[in-house]
Structure 1
Amino acid sequence: MPVWQWLLDAAGLLLLLVLLYGAALIVRRRVLSRHGGTFELSHRVRSERAGRGWVLGLGRYSGETLEWFRIFSLSPRPKRTWERERLAYDGRREPEAPEQMSLYPEHLVISCQTREGEVELAMSPASLTGFQAWLEARPPGTDWTRG
């Protein structure tokens, strides 16, 4: 068999793998959306350098937790979760110049405090309204004075 046929077969196989990966990402997002609406949510995993460390993802509310899934992962499990009672909203800001290239368009950067430290998330203004409502909608009997 000539070399060009081997190369053509390899290119065809590579294209098939890329298409299967894309289809798997679509199916995963649909499965995640079935158990509650998802929204675009980026998380800053490293904050050593200004404007760096952002990872695109999806957010989903699941009872008392906010789950975060990486956008290009095939894992059905969330990469991070935050409990509602341990999450305190600190404020929002516009993305800085280097961050604008890393985040979805028109997203706002919000900072929250947890017992482990500061968490930075980025979401659309509409998602931020839902996030604030979710934080304030604690169940009856909640001690509002706890941080």
Structure 2
Amino acid sequence: MDNKIVENIIPSQPPIESQSDAHVLKSRLEWGEPALTILDVRDRQVHNQGHITGAMPMPLNELVDRATATIAKSRDIYVYGSNDEETAQAAQLLRNAGFEHVSELRGGLAAWKAIGGATEGVVEAKVPPSAGAYNVVDRMKEHTEQAEKDV
């Protein structure tokens, strides 16, 4: 049987950008696109305090060795660190090691939390989620209020 039929029905995923904001990652997860990996390159103790739900801890000093051993070079990888500089450094290390689809998650954990992204960890478990974490109307209200503060 010809696979062209399937190729025409299911569009291929466009390549990920070299930098992404939290909205891009969140929308992929919400649409159920599991073919991605989130890497947290911060120190393991910091990771344990709080991180993006499902993020794999791979401290910067172990990143290339651990990623090479466990992740396919063609997999979509979103990486974040303590700041955008650390994130960029980690992404470059992965690209230099042959990973083809690496995106820097701009703003890291703080940006993720700002849009109501799911988190887990010791500290995160003690902080109750906002109303917007469970309700789209409340999330939109929080977003509007925050946008008015930013102006």
Larger CA Rg, structure 1 vs 2 = 1
Give 1 or 2: higher strand fraction.
Answer: 1
Of structures 1 and 2, the one with the larger relative CO (CA 8 A, separation 6+) is: 2
Give 1 or 2: higher helix fraction.
Answer: 2
Q: Report the TM-score when normalising by structure 1.
A: 0.28
